[in-house]
Structure 1
Amino acid sequence: MKTYPTILSFFFLAMLAGSPVFAQLPRLKVSDNQRFLVTEEGKPFFWLADTAWELFHRCDRDEVGYYLDKRAEQGFNVVQAVALAEIDGLNTPNAYGERPLVENDPARPNPAYFEHIDYVLDKAAEKGIYIALLPTWGDKVFKNNWGEGPEIFNPENAKEFGKWMGDRYKNRTNIIWVIGGDRNPRENSDDVTIWRQLAAGIGEGIGGLEKGLMTFHPQPAKPGGSSNWFHQDEWLDFNMHQTGHCPNQPTYKIISHDYNLKPTKPTLDGEPLYEDHPNCFNAKELGHSVPDDIRRIMYWNVFAGAFGQTYGCHAVWQMYTNERKPINMPLRPWKVALDLPMASQVIHLKNLMLSRPFLTRVPAQEMVRTVQEDDQHYVIATKDSAGTYAMVYFPTGKAVDLDLSHLSGSRIKLSWYDPRTGNLYTDGTTAEKSGSITVTPPTSGGKGHDWVLVLDSE
């Protein structure tokens, strides 16, 4: 059983030690049923993250404030960012002319560089935002066919660097540690050992694995995500996927795979199709992503059992400006891209999930009786284990037969939730619990006609 000191105790101990007092948030932990994250007080935590991989590396303090203000206003509570960043993060200095390592040696971190990360962590906490902190991007372990590198890590110095970072940030309560950095371990290599040693070092630095949360950020993989290599590892508190940047994939299958593994661990998609991203990295033939595809992927994932969802924007992750070399054809500068449609629509998913009992929610695909193909029309259901409510996501407005016998109560109230606006439409329609009913959403006609049916037992 993990125990956590209170926020007040952190302030008290810091004052006694003469240490600086940080802005603090409630610590997060895995829920008792091992399916979700909760605060130390047991309050449900729906992970709603943004990918800002280059935040530490490319943004100055004014830009950090601008970014965090906007994302907090939009309802995000997690930001994913990298210390040893992807875009030549070792040799190109940050906004203040500092590089993270002396002579690119993991045993010689440059404190001046990490002081800027300290600042970002403080500002994030003030805004109610947790940082999913990657110590390094994966190209510092191996470049393969992309990434600047250089490759600097081995099992020994990975542990040493992890311990240094863990010790530096052991008193910060708004950190979730993310190992990996967009790389799948290679067979017949030291990769798995390096990542495990990095995790072990962090565990030592923070004073024990029970004092932090940790996961692994892979490339797209099957059948699972981080679980393919590390599911049995004690340090892996929850599984993370990267479902990739193609729009037409049954991402719910990947979530379901990890959801059903033993031991039970929470799971989520930590890198889905980004907004404004070239579809399948092929803008010329396939164009850029649209909100309808991103929305579908997110609802699929959460209804399949994910405890939250990460959002991403192609211009924002790289903090693109017109003065910087573009990566994979971003369409606009990052400050403009902060206001793209999905950045304001993802809050509706979070609000919907938290509007009903959250910690008892389970996948409920048995409620959908219509035989379905694994395509963009796939209708997916979730409910709570007591049957007090269910939610059914219709990506394209097609009609399906639903089995209501899995709900409690003699009658069921039907309402429609618009995932584009967050509006709930209730006209008093009810149905008998027994048997099945055919349900047709308010509109139909393909992408953009997605709806959530909310079923409440009466």
Structure 2
Amino acid sequence: MKRIFIFLLTLIVPGILLGQIQGPIKISENQRFLAQFDDSPFFWMADTAWELFHRTNIKEAEYYLSIRKSQGFNVIQAVALAEIDGLNDPNQYGEKPFESNDPMKFNEKYWKYVDDVISIAEEKGIHIALLPTWGDKVFKNTWGVGPEIFDAENAFEFGKWIGARYADRTNLIWVIGGDRNPRKDSDDANIWNQMAAGIKSSSKKDNPILMTFHPQPNRPGGSSTWFHQSDWLDFNMHQTGHCPNQPTYRIISHDYELNPTKPTLDGEPLYEEHPNCFNAKELGYSNPEDIRRIMYWNVFTGGAGQTYGCHAVWQMYTLDRKPINGPLKPWQVSLELPMANQVKHLKNLMLSKSYFNRIPDYELVVTKQEDDEHFVIGTRDVEGGYALIYFPTGKSVDVDFSKLKNPTLKANWYDPRTGVSFPYSGSPLIKGKNKVSTPSSGKGQDWVLVVE
């Protein structure tokens, strides 16, 4: 009876089944954020699974996507021509992407598996941020094994081919690049431009596409450094990198101020259980509080969402595989690490307030601050209906609520670790300057003050 009821309900309200994607996402009307097909907010909550198509079988992919769906992720970043020798090392079914690399002769069996994984994601309501290739297929750098197979001509043809193959998919976002910055005095930028142009040439008017670029760490701009004025770049992406205690809000803020206005977000932050600055011996591994701080900083300063990553998961590490930079446990076990279950609290908080009219406001905090791990940051809506203040380490600061429209204020504390809120119990807040102290303080004791 339950199955019959659900079936009848879906006939009345198409798309009501949990996870069904009803259309592609798009840029919001104010050009700051991402929106669903029906103009409702879309908060980019992505996981990094670069090797998803290369190092899983269909049961493993199903398991991975099911777990990430249950944790609230709505985007998975994955690469078609994978990083870890993705041209010459076969996938889990013994298939390579090309029957020959030069000239490129596509292997249908390999691409059929990519199709199947994208379909599973779609069934679960998950978008795939698809990188057509990892960057070492364009040029060799300090890591990656290539080989280099793309020039401007065949990059366009490859883009045209892969764009046509997935032109009808409603759960794809295209990500040009792959951890490589265009070099000066080279044709790199043109190769990426041509690949993007090829994908665009195969797109359909009734299924518009979104496209961005995944760079290496670069200051102050990420994708915007080379492609902000390009018509194909719909939103900017950064890689803020794998060192803690960087003022990532300055990086996001750089793109937020650019003209023309485009959404921006961090597409590769500090991964969970990653060696800090690639130096585990001296600096240890990343911890949840550092990752959490970076995420809240990025979103509060105007990010259109946030990507998460786990060091074991991106490489789909298992004990029988050669580890890259010291993963601590197999990927299946690593799916349930603390931050993987805490990112949804950030998404839920942002979606609980009016969304598209939100702006960063550094003037909410009037205490003079240094660019360190204690930096308190604020955001609010344009009309002054609410303000959110993020305290990374729970220090006391002076805040100014003069821009809020009502003289009477109410407030709650929001716990980024659990998503639990409870009433603010300090001195009554006024429309003006206030001294605010958090419920607890110290490393890992971060809080959000929600004022309405």
The answer on 1:105 being equivalent to 2:105 is no
2:148 aligned partner: 151
CA distance change for structure 1 residues 347 and 432 in 2, over 3 Å: closer, same or farther?
closer
d(CA) in 2 for partners of 1:255, 1:373: 17
Q: Could you say what the CA RMSD is over the residues aligned between the two structures, in angstroms?
A: 1.5
Q: Of residues 182, 185, 203 in structure 1, which corresponds to 2:182?
A: 185
The answer on 1:125 being equivalent to 2:116 is no
The answer on 1:94 being equivalent to 2:91 is yes
Letter of the structure 1 residue corresponding to residue 449 of structure 2: L
- Note if contact 1:56-1:94 (Cα within 8 Å) is conserved in structure 2: yes
1:16 aligned partner: none
Number of residue equivalences: 435
Deviations 1:154-177 (A, max 9, x none): 000000000000000000000000
- 1:102 partner SS: strand
Q: Structure 1: any 5+ residue segments left out of the alignment?
A: 1-7, 12-22
- Note if contact 2:24-2:207 (Cα within 8 Å) is conserved in structure 1: no
Letter of the structure 1 residue corresponding to residue 451 of structure 2: L
2:220 aligned partner: 223
2:444 aligned partner: 448
- Note if contact 1:54-1:81 (Cα within 8 Å) is conserved in structure 2: yes
Shift of 1:431: 3.9
Alignment of 1:317-328 (within 5 A): 317-328=314-325
Letter of the structure 2 residue corresponding to residue 77 of structure 1: N
Q: Of residues 171, 176, 199 in structure 2, which corresponds to 1:174?
A: 171
The answer on 1:258 being equivalent to 2:259 is no
Say which is worse superposed, 405-414 or 148-157, in terms of deviation: 405-414
2:240 aligned partner: 243
- Note if contact 1:106-1:161 (Cα within 8 Å) is conserved in structure 2: no
d(CA) in 2 for partners of 1:382, 1:431: 20
The answer on 1:52 being equivalent to 2:49 is yes
- 1:228 partner SS: helix
- Note if contact 2:228-2:236 (Cα within 8 Å) is conserved in structure 1: yes
Letter of the structure 2 residue corresponding to residue 420 of structure 1: R
2:299 aligned partner: 302
Shift of 1:40: 1.5
Alignment of 1:332-351 (within 5 A): 332-351=329-348
Letter of the structure 2 residue corresponding to residue 448 of structure 1: G
- 1:211 partner SS: coil
CA distance change for structure 1 residues 429 and 411 in 2, over 3 Å: closer, same or farther?
farther
2:436 aligned partner: 439
1:19 aligned partner: none
Identity fraction in percent: 66
**Structure-2-length-normalised TM-score:** 0.94
**Structure-1-length-normalised TM-score:** 0.93
Alignment of 1:37-48 (within 5 A): 37-48=34-45
Say which is worse superposed, 83-92 or 140-149, in terms of deviation: 140-149
Letter of the structure 1 residue corresponding to residue 301 of structure 2: A
- Note if contact 1:104-1:152 (Cα within 8 Å) is conserved in structure 2: yes
CA distance change for structure 1 residues 294 and 209 in 2, over 3 Å: closer, same or farther?
farther
Alignment of 1:7-86 (within 5 A): 24-86=21-83
1:4 aligned partner: none
d(CA) in 2 for partners of 1:113, 1:285: 41
- Note if contact 1:413-1:429 (Cα within 8 Å) is conserved in structure 2: no
1:18 aligned partner: none
Moved over 6 A (4+): none
Shift of 1:211: 1.6
Letter of the structure 2 residue corresponding to residue 27 of structure 1: P
Deviations 1:38-91 (A, max 9, x none): 011101000000000000000000000110010000000000000000000000
Letter of the structure 1 residue corresponding to residue 78 of structure 2: A
- 2:270 partner SS: coil
Letter of the structure 2 residue corresponding to residue 49 of structure 1: A
Deviations 1:9-61 (A, max 9, x none): xx9xxxxxxxxxxx754211100100011011101000000000000000000
